Amino acid sequence: MLKRSAATAAKTLFLVRHAKSSWKEAGLADRERPLSGRGKRDAPRMGALLARRDARPELLVTSPAVRAVKTAEAMAAALGRGPADFLVDEGIYGAGPEELIEVIRRFDDQVRHAMLVGHNPALTELANRLAERDIGNVPTCGVVILSLATDTWTTAGDCPATLLEFLSPKKPEA
């Protein structure tokens, strides 16, 4: 479903909101919040769903927040990758949609399929901007899959993008 012919100049971007985090530890810094029980269940489940759909991001880039890193680890494992196969980018934490576009523009052009794990509201705003439509709120562990009509990441945000799928852990097959 997510495969493209070699003649198609396109990049596939997976935008993933981190899985549900825990608020149990009072006084814990926002960046340090771990995944909740639901988050620990949803992240590998959504990764497995992507694997069944033959989604194979070559690059996984995550926010340094603990909840985002743990989501990326679970997604990577479900996709047959390990923690060494993803990058932590300080620029994602606290970023707005424009800063996220700048992160994406730094992706290596040899990469055709990339995943970015981040936070709301920026992730939803970015998805809406790129797809040029209102997809509503990206829930925790939600995945927005976009096809960018370009052969270079440096034009992300300026090139046409098509919404391929919008997956939610509450409706993973929808």
The domain that holds 36 is classified in CATH as: 3.40.50.1240
Give the three-state DSSP class for 69: helix
| Angle, in degrees to the nearest 10, between helices 97-105 and 122-131 | 70
Asked if the structure places residue 5 within a domain, the reply is no
Domain membership flag for residue 98: yes
Closest CA to 85 of 75, 99, 98: 75
- In-domain check, residue 6: no
CA nearest 70: which of 62, 60, 79, 80? 62
Mind listing the pLDDT tens digit for each residue in 67-107? Answer: 999 999 999 999 998 877 889 999 999 999 999 999 999 99
Q: What angle do CA 22, 27, 33 make, to 5 degrees?
A: 30
Give a yes or no: residue 126 inside a domain: yes
Query: Is 48 contained in some domain?
Result: yes
Across residues 119-127, what is the average pLDDT?
Answer: 97
Instruction: Break the chain down into helix, strand, coil percent, rounded to 5.
Output: 35, 20, 45
Based on the structure, what is the number of domains in the chain?
A: 1
Backbone angles phi, psi at 164, to 5 degrees: -90, -45
Tokens of 61: 């880039």
Asked if the structure places residue 72 within a domain, the reply is yes
> Does any domain span residue 174?
no
How far apart, in whole angstroms, are the C-alpha atoms of residue 123 and residue 160? 18
- 170, amino acid identity: K
Q: What would the pLDDT profile of 40-60 be if each residue is shown by its tens digit?
A: 999 999 999 999 999 989 999
- Tell whether 146 is covered by a domain: yes
In this prediction, residue 99 carries a pLDDT of 98
pTM to 2 decimals?
Answer: 0.92
Q: Per the structure block, which two tokens stand in for 54? A: 């033959």
Domain that holds residue 128: 11-112+122-167
pLDDT at position 1, please?
45
Average pLDDT estimate for 136-163: 96
Q: Where are the beta strands (DSSP E) in 98-138?
A: 113-118
